[in-house]
Chains A and B, each alone.
Chain A
């Protein structure tokens, strides 16, 4: 078997901000609500607490994002997914939930630099002035769904894998030198 390959194999662009496709990352969609074992299950996989609505809890290369009232996105190293799925199954056994591996269904980008926000302001109908630290915002980037949050002097953007090259095109267009807002 070969190594897993991310959608754009780590493509990057240097404009007035730096655009990098990263990954593959491990991602698990966990659908559950009000379960007594939820705290424990998430802690076991990401080491974080359960995020509040519209928040993301980050701990090193692990994170847990709130996606909807009954959905969380667990992020972890790609190689840990199998083990994590087993942990979730064990921790939530007998309780109504759905955990699916979506590591390969996504593409992940980093947008970095002082003006990283400007790249996204051109694409998303989001009030970046009011975006709070630790906020995970699901919206759209131009014509496709995207989720973003601030992390380490930049932003992380997650979209569907099939549109990775479209999103790379958007980010490249928006980060062109000379087009700062």
Chain B
């Protein structure tokens, strides 16, 4: 059994005991433990079940590469699935549960998959669940969904806070092992601004476990002196618990700081995402030990050799009284020595190599450990934990020569440099024959903005696996034993988390997969949350062998960020709840809220859709608002309307290019409706333009269009007509704007008092400056409803007060606020188009019968050439007309007008579509506008619109103006 040793443990504080629970069982550990160390100290070897076969799984590693020991951490609003026990710091009160089993970890029904394993080979999804078709949805998918997946998704909103921060440096060093520390110090000595990140809570990397001294000093002394030196410098920032997980263009790096994972609920942000911009990046990210592929290499108790010595040295945890070491390189001998030093038994070291005469093997022999060379593990014995190993010759086919009883197996298949950060932006790799690993090719680094190398790898990440400088030779051992038959190969796990075995990769190769990228997707090798940190190299080596190719020819899969999983909370940062995205509010927003407005998004704006009263549905409220505005008085918050000032000697010429109509001839004091098109000729915006003075115009845009149109204007002024003397300013937010609409509109302004707004003083399509109720206002006599209407602009700081004054003064006149839906219905009753309804980026003004707003005289305007294209000039285009259903019903939104026959896909042919469709409370029937082929020539014809239910609805073609055709209501 695994247990806590009486002495040692450099990272634990025995004076600070902590209690935690695993599946409800209470355990004790110490501050400084990882959760994995705490579990092992309590003999919890079995920690989870595998993804596909539900095999019992234990802890394999001691770092972020851990594929098996993932748990549901926390409960309720602090539940996080798939947390790696090997990087989770233990704290008092920690609660976790194991994953992927039913009904219990010890007795799991899903394990039948294990016995059915030969029916679940690589690609079984693609092969098995094809027929019969209906089975997928009702049988296969529900079953697979229940049995697949790891942790449980939390059901409550996350109780924690997250944030992000931007930081800049000359040099970013990722990894505070010896190599990283040295690199940071060297740059700091040169006065550079240095940031040093370490994913673990402590610095030092593997050195304190694997080395006795650095530069002639004891390791611990060297590290503390270095840490003190760096911390004392103003130009160095050291951040522990911070994983630099992704490198992006031009020195951009993202790092995840686990601020309060180990102190949940203390008020600090749980994680902080650092957005780092570094002049240069040094990846001192070390190397990850590889497993060996032998039968039963996934049984709890089989661990990486480096992890075994980490648990012994760092946490004083024994994996078992007897540990067999199996290796193809010298580094695993350190584990044997560490176990011995801790008073534990190492029955044998099985070394696949024919000879092992380095310093470490010699030291092991000297310590009395039995070293067997040329040997392999034929099979690990045991189920939920290791009970022994069967030994065979590496060169053979697995004939058992000897059985050795043990509780743990420490394996080392060599080391893979962590080249992820080097590779994220395209750094290339070389296959290093000496250490059987991919290493960075310094000649082909990822490039920075100036063409220099953006990333440099140092230390083990560069393939320098022995800090003493001697390259440690690691011969390739990809399958153990070399000639293992299929019975053994299909018990050799490559990818523990996704349950991919040697036999699966070999099957893929037999089935014709030659690309490593395809094999990965077919077998799911390396596609789990650990992203193949342990499995990728072993897997592609097996693939290369099966294909009879060399490893460099097969190549690796692409390394993509993040290096380790990052919680969504950190990526979202502050963008949650109220500040998920900016909500733009008008100055009258609070008043609308008080009035019970139901809001709808218009771009980022929130505008009242309607103002429902008690007991009213939204539809009823909208209809009331329409009728009241048409008979009494309606008030609309029109503040969101875009307002752009255009001024200069060439402003008229500029606006004549921008609009399809002529704006240069507009007299001062008057307003004119205008259309803007893009260069393809398609309508992009519309609005009323007012001439303010000789060289100043005010352009109104749609609510969603202000920023876009302002940018559009600046684009043309800066990039095409840069010699024209024109300035623009977006003053949308300077003004609150209130539309006063309805038969009583003028009366309201007269009650407010201060200006002559009579028909004579302020006729339709004119504007005037003045004061109303003491407020400085600009009044535009324009109408988007067909009613007598004034749009009144006041400085935004007075917007709320002015709105209130209008509401108050309007009480006696029947004033009610109305929302955007009422606005839409009223404009549709009048046949006014709406950008985004009648237009969709493929509609030109001529399609909408707006030829009157297009100048025939102008030689040029934006979109004119585009509109001359034969397709757009064709008489066969769908054109805007009105529709009235024969039965008075409302045509469904999005309906098409069907034509005779069917197309190649068997769908009904179409000849048009609806663009705006409403119930008109004024006319008490459905009204609609839409585009119809040859529309204006087909007045009176009856056409059919399809409906959601599958039938059609008949409607008569008519003109688009349903209400007050002669404009008598607005011209009073």
Interface residues on A, range: 35 or more
Most buried by B among A24, A70, A105: A105
- For the complex, give the distance between the alpha carbons of A105 and B734 in Å: 4
Contact check, B584 vs A142: say whether CB atoms are below 8 A apart: no
A96 to B574, CA, bound (A): 44
For A106, the chain B residues whose CB sits under 8 A away are 733
Contact at A96–B163, with CB atoms within 8 Å? no
- In chain B, what residue has the closest Cβ to A81? B795
Given contacts A127-B168, A161-B796, contact A104 B268 (CB under 8 A): no
Distance, CA A171 to CA B770, complexed state (A): 39
Expressed in whole angstroms, the Cα–Cα distance for A98 and B695 within the complex equals 10
For A166, list chain B residues within 8 Å (CB). Answer: 579, 582-583
B584 pairs with A121, CB closer than 8 A: no
Cα–Cα distance between A176 and B267 once the two chains are bound (Å): 9
Interchain CB contact (< 8 A) of B727 among A2, A96, A101, A162: A96
Q: List the B side residues contacting A78 at CB < 8 Å.
A: 797
Question: Any chain A CB within 8 A of the CB of B648?
Answer: yes
Provided the pairs A104-B734, A161-B733, A176-B161 are in contact, do residues A1 and B798 lie with their beta carbons within 8 angstroms?
yes
Distance (Å) between the CB of A138 and the closest chain B CB?
15
**For residue A27, which residue of chain B has the nearest CB?**
B734
Q: Are B733 and A162 in contact (CB under 8 A)?
A: yes
For residues 7 through 49 of chain A, which have their beta carbon under 8 Å from a beta carbon of chain B? 7, 24, 29, 31-32
Residues on the B chain within 8 Å of A130, using CB? 168
The interface residues of chain B lying within 8 Å CB-to-CB of A104 are 733-735, 795-798
B732: interface (CB < 8 Å):
yes
B733 touches A24 (CB 8 A): no
The answer to whether B733 and A105 have CB atoms under 8 Å apart is yes
- Taking CB atoms, residues of chain A closer than 8 Å to B163 are 122, 173-174, 179
Contacts of B800 in A (CB 8 A): 5
A155 in contact (CB, < 8 A): no
A170 is contacted by which of B574, B587, B649 (Cβ under 8 Å)? B574
B452 at the interface (CB under 8 A from A): no
Asked whether A93 is an interface residue with its Cβ less than 8 Å from the other chain, the reply is no
A105–B293 CA distance with the chains assembled, in angstroms: 68
A103: chain B residues within 8 A (beta carbon): 734, 795, 797
Interface of B is mostly: mixed
Docked CA distance A78–B648 (Å): 27
Contacts of A6 in B (CB 8 A): 797
User: Which B residues between 776 and 833 are near A, CB-CB below 8 angstroms?
Assistant: 776, 795-798, 800-801
Complex Cα gap A97–B647 (Å) = 8
Q: Which residues of B contact A181 (CB under 8 A)?
A: 165, 272
User: Known contacts A178-B267, A179-B269, A181-B165: does B647 contact A4 (CB below 8 Å)?
Assistant: no
CB atoms of A70 and B727 under 8 A apart:
yes
Q: Give B651 Cβ to nearest chain A Cβ, in Å.
A: 10
- Say if the beta carbon of B566 comes within 8 Å of chain A: no
Residues of A within 8 A of B795 (CB): 4, 101, 103-104
Instruction: Name the one of B574, B578, B586, B797 contacting A4, with C-beta atoms under 8 angstroms.
Output: B797
Do B167 and A165 touch across chains, with their CB atoms under 8 A apart? no
Distance between Cα atoms of A104 and B800 in the complex (Å): 12
Give A contacts to B, CB under 8 Å.
1-2, 4-7, 24, 29, 31-32, 70, 78, 96-98, 100-106, 118, 121-127, 129-130, 142-144, 160-166, 169-170, 173-174, 176-179, 181
Known: A160-B584, A181-B165. 16 other contacts (CB 8 A): A1-B773, A1-B798, A1-B801, A32-B727, A70-B727, A96-B648, A101-B795, A105-B734, A142-B579, A143-B582, A162-B733, A166-B579, A169-B578, A173-B161, A176-B267, A181-B272
Question: What are 20 A-to-B residue pairs whose CB atoms are below 8 Å?
Answer: A4-B798, A5-B587, A31-B727, A96-B648, A98-B729, A100-B645, A104-B735, A104-B796, A104-B797, A105-B732, A105-B733, A123-B574, A125-B277, A127-B277, A142-B582, A160-B584, A161-B796, A165-B585, A166-B579, A177-B267
The 6 closest A-B pairs by CB, nearest first: A4-B797, A1-B774, A98-B727, A162-B584, A104-B796, A2-B801
